[in-house]
A and B are shown apart, each in its own frame.
Chain A
Amino acid sequence: MKSRGYTVIGLCLTALMLFPVYWMLNVSLTPQQDMRKDPPDLLPLHPTFEGYRAVLDDQLPYLGTSLLIGIGTVALTLLIAAPAGYALARLRPRGGGALELALLIAQMIPGIVMAMGFYGIFLDLSLLNSWWGLIVADSTIAVPFGVMIFTAFMSGIPGELLSAARIDGAGTWRTFRSVVLPLSRNAIVTVSLFGFLWAWSDFVFANTLDGGGSWKPITLGIYKYIGNNNQEWNAIMATAVVASVPAAVLLVLAQRYVAAGVTAGAVKD
């Protein structure tokens, strides 16, 4: 009885929260000429699938690129952040505190400041308009976060496990690889998911560094519809709907681990 009450409230809250998402769907189905109708149509009574047709015609390669960039970003981030997190958490290097502060600040630097710096570097190294250049850039959002999460998580691993491995003759690297990493699954999933989502939704880097490439991510695909002389809202929103699907699947799959990963550090003491 009481539980049903909660469900009803929960449904109402969810409806309220998701209204903008519904609106996005609604707009994606609205024909161009009804777009500025006053009052707006609350239901897509005369749906058009033009937007979706446009997406399927033009946007699939962009989706592929975004997927590639997302996965690449995750791989690079894990490669750099996991060992660093381990070192900071367990090996107590000199200057570790300062490094942690630097990483914290690094996360606060506005993307556009970074983007401009990158533009210069990329131009010199002729990395502009390449998908792997964008992977490097996108990973800068995720690496400091990843190191923070890994540090917090790995400090929580019982010390006895590590010394036991050492006594069995495992070097630091072996310990890291075969004890610490498997235990850090939650943190790995969390960092991967965040890294992927950031790379997936990044616009500033993509626009600055990959504006003219032939491998463009989906955010630029959307931007194409917000061009100089036209704004095709149904195509924009249709792209957004399509673009959210892989992310949604991923989040549902990973949700369980994420919670554990993020909070491990916070609740360590």
Chain B
Amino acid sequence: MTVARVDRPRRAPAAAARASGSGARSLRRRRRLTALAFLTPLLAYLAAFYVYPLYRNLDLSLRDYTVRSFVAGDAPFSGWDNFRTVLDDPTFGPAMRHTMVFTFVSIAFQYVIGLALAVFFNRHFRLSTVLRALFLIPWLLPLIVSASTWSWMFNSESGVVNYFLHFFGVAPVGWLTAPDWALVSVIIANIWIGIPFNLVILYSGLQNIPGELYEAAALDGAGAWQQFRRITFPLLRPVSAITLLLGLVYTLKVFDLIWIMTKGGPGDASSTLATWSYQLGFGTLLPRFGPGAAVGNILILIALVFGLLHIRVQRRQEA
């Protein structure tokens, strides 16, 4: 292998030339078959474990399922009825709004805080490696635990957050019990959970920016802010893009956190599409599978829109 690496520059063009020769077509076909062979496990896997659940979910949302027809499996096709029911529901507007606010506010803060911390830790001061490692701890806790801890800290009666606020003369806040604060509280908890992920990725992005650029900029008399705006931020753009995209992917579907902290309440003050879908499908004694699945599918549709948007932006950047 080492040998191969040594001869590489000389032989590579020769190989390319040979590939475009007489046997090109059969070579291409063979190559396609090989590609297929490598992809087969993935395709089989996707077909078995993604397509079927999705098909079922779609089926649930397009039929008029009652508990009886759910068991018997003879629910009549009802077209868009479930979607219409869901869209007409007074919960839809707020749930949609909360989903968007939750997702975008969380991502924005996670990103900004993560970036600020990454730049900060990039200074390589004493203990910086240790402290940076400590910052990752929140990421390791099972979500059910961090959510419980936050709901405990936010408790309106004996929570530690209100206890601290009282030192600053702030009256107790009903973090999880006041309609205006519930969504804020779950967003705060979600930002906290997301910071380590953003920090890790953005920090390693920073590592890949050559130090000479900063030295040159410093020679030109650029201050810290200038350096950040002219060098760090633009060079970090590809990393930022993937960070934000992954952030979006994982935030849009957050369910456990909200469910454990508020169950979408009080009323529906913190319900998002994900919690509402669960509420409809499983939150009551009489499950409403159809509308529940319809909400789930709307969520997938939103994901699809963002996915396409991402690909377009990516194409434009490459062009």
Contacts and interface: CB of A to CB of B under 8 A. Distances in A.
A45 interface: no
Residue picked from A11, A117, A136, A178, most chain B C-beta under 10 Å: A117
B226 interface: no
Interface in B98-137: 117, 120-121, 123, 125-128, 131, 133-137
B252 A80 contact: no
B38 A176 contact: yes
B195 to A, nearest CB: 7
Interface string A101-130: 110111111111110111011000000000
6 contacts: A20-B138, A20-B149, A113-B293, A203-B256, A219-B142, A259-B204
Interface residues of B, number: 103
A200 B36 CA distance: 32
Interface string A201-227: 101100000000000001100110010
A160 interface: yes
B160 to A, nearest CB: 5
Given A172-B34, A203-B143, A18 B125 contact: no
B201 A263 contact: yes
A269 B139 contact: no
Contacts of A137: 49
B157 A87 contact: no
B131 A14 contact: yes
Interface residues of A, number: 104
Contacts of A237: 145, 149
Interface string B1-30: 101110111011011100000000000000
Contacts of A179: 1
Given A105-B303, A110-B274, A237-B149, 14 more contacts: A7-B127, A14-B134, A17-B195, A83-B42, A87-B35, A113-B296, A164-B11, A167-B14, A219-B144, A240-B149, A244-B137, A244-B141, A258-B200, A266-B205
A219 B35 CA distance: 39
Contacts of B144: 201, 203, 219, 222-223
B135 A93 contact: no
Q: Please name the 9 residue pairs, one residue from A and one from B, whose CB atoms are nearest each other, closest first.
A: A117-B53, A259-B204, A108-B303, A91-B35, A87-B38, A84-B42, A6-B125, A93-B35, A240-B145
A221 to B, nearest CB: 10
Contacts of A4: 125-126
A234 to B, nearest CB: 12
Interface string B39-52: 10110011011101
Given A84-B39, A93-B36, A114-B53, A21 B138 contact: yes
B238 A269 contact: yes
A80 B45 contact: yes
A107 B249 contact: yes
B141 A112 contact: no
B57 interface: yes
A37 B245 CA distance: 43
A97 B315 CA distance: 11
Contact of B140 (A84, A118, A197, A268): A197
Interface string A165-203: 111100010001011000000000000000001001101
Interface string B141-181: 11111101110110001111001000000000000000000
Interface stretch (B83-91, B213-221, B263-271, B304-312): B304-312
Nearest to A160: B8
B187 interface: no
Contact of B120 (A10, A176, A226, A267): A10
Interface string B294-305: 001001100110
Interface in A15-50: 17-18, 20-21, 23-24, 27, 36-40, 42
Contacts of A161: 4-5, 8
A240 B248 CA distance: 27
B49 A118 contact: yes
Nearest to A247: B140
Nearest to B150: A20
Nearest to B195: A17
Given A203-B143, A248-B137, A121 B52 contact: yes
Contacts of B250: 107
Contact of A36 (B4, B157, B310): B157
A108 B125 contact: no
Contacts of B131: 10-11, 13-14
Contacts of B248: 108
Contacts of B255: 110-112, 204
